[in-house]
Amino acid sequence: MTTRMLNIAMIGHGFMGRAHSNAFHQAGHFFDLPYTLRRKVICGRNQQAVAEMAARWGWDETANDWRAVVDRKDIDVIDIGTPNALHAEIAIAAAKAGKIIWCEKPLAMNGPQAAQMAEAAKKVPNLVWFNYRRVPAIALAKQLIDEGKIGQVYQYRAAYLQSWGADPARTGVWRFNKSDAGSGAMGDLLTHIVDLAHFLNGPLSELNALVHTFAPGREVDDAAIFTGRFANGGIGTFEVTRFAIGMKNRNRFEIHGSKGALSFNLEELNHLLYYDATLPADQQGWMDIMVTGPGHPYTANFWPAGHIIGYEHTFIATLADFLTALASGAEFHANFEDGLKVQQVMDAVEKSSETRNWVKL
């Protein structure tokens, strides 16, 4: 098999730049890819940091003007890992230039901006890095739900709890600046769990939110909570916070259906808890499935059963799925349309909190 080369330009070089670079290296080691990936150019404002990053992660070139990069004919993919405020402009330019676009979440600063991006990206293959869809345990959860194993979903309970923002005096982080980040826990964390809810349980129909900032003077939200109704008749709660002392990265959900239930926690991402309520009553319980194979999504690509994977592998699996879909012409999710749907929920959350009213979706 001869594989076409894809030249990647990555805009951004922080935490996500690292996670993406790693995926670009590793995807071909673990998956049979229909494309060869070339780490062509890494672009950012801080030239020294970009240079160090290029050296460490094997980028051919560095650049500091993303517009020039987008204009380059030899670039196939624009990967966007900048602060949120830049996503739209870069993505729209990239779309105009006919590039494949991979964009970090949150897709945009708000719904209308996301809509513009989704519109612009209609003609090009696109992806939003909602990488948690490809946690093997979450992919297994999706599979069990689609097979009807948990029946009609009554209740969906999601939370993404972190503590790194819990020092009210902490400043100097771009994620705390409204102009860069747009929002706080909402854009960073709530988008993840709303996308997972869309993936696992479908759209919300209305919600009622409380958005709160604990740290005096901080421009963005520290916590956001909402209660909602799903189109499928279920009800749900969503909570995100950077003030949950004791929680490092607890992205968790519990889903209760008529036939069973599921529970997941990102800090133990190699596990899915499954409750099968169709078993004899005396032999029911929460089954802790160690989702490392055999037979689980993605796991045959990594290590033998019982040998766990980590955070970074979710990016690798996402990338592999995208490339496979790209080669076959299949639809890929999460894409900009999915990112837009999440952004519309964010807007509703903001509006609900401001107006202190329920908001329809």
Residue number, 66 or 238, with CB nearest to its own copies: 238
351: amino acid identity, one letter: K
* φ and ψ at residue 63, rounded to 5 degrees: -155, 160
Nearer Cβ to its own copies (34/112): 34
Instruction: Kindly state the smallest distance separating residue 236's Cβ from its own copies, in Å.
Output: 9
Q: Which is nearer to its own copies, 130 or 302 (CB)?
A: 302
DSSP 8-state secondary structure symbol assigned to residue 121: G
CA dihedral sign, ordered 226, 227, 231, 234 = positive
Least distance in angstroms from the C-beta of 176 to its own copies: 16
The residue type found at 207 is: L
Closest separation in Å from C-beta 154 to its own copies: 5
Structure-token pair, residue 150? 């948990």
CB of 14 to its own copies, least distance (A): 11
- Token pair 């009213």 in the structure block, residue: 357
Q: Which residues contact 19 (CB under 8 A, 6 or more apart)?
A: 131, 311, 312, 315
Using CA atoms, how far apart are residues 101 and 201, in angstroms rounded to an integer? 26
Work out the angle at residue 246's Cα, subtended by the Cα atoms of residues 217 and 241, and round it to the nearest 5 degrees.
40
Q: Which is nearer to its own copies, 280 or 329 (CB)?
A: 280
Smallest gap from Cβ 97 to its own copies, in A, equals 30
Q: For its own copies, give the closer residue by CB, 294 or 329.
A: 294
Nearest residue (CB) to its own copies, 315 versus 336: 315
Alpha-carbon gap, residue 127 to 338, rounded angstroms: 9
Closest separation between CB of residue 273 and its own copies, Å? 8
DSSP string computed for 232-280: TS-EEEEEEES--TT-SSEEEEEEEESSEEEEEEGGGTTEEEEEETTS-
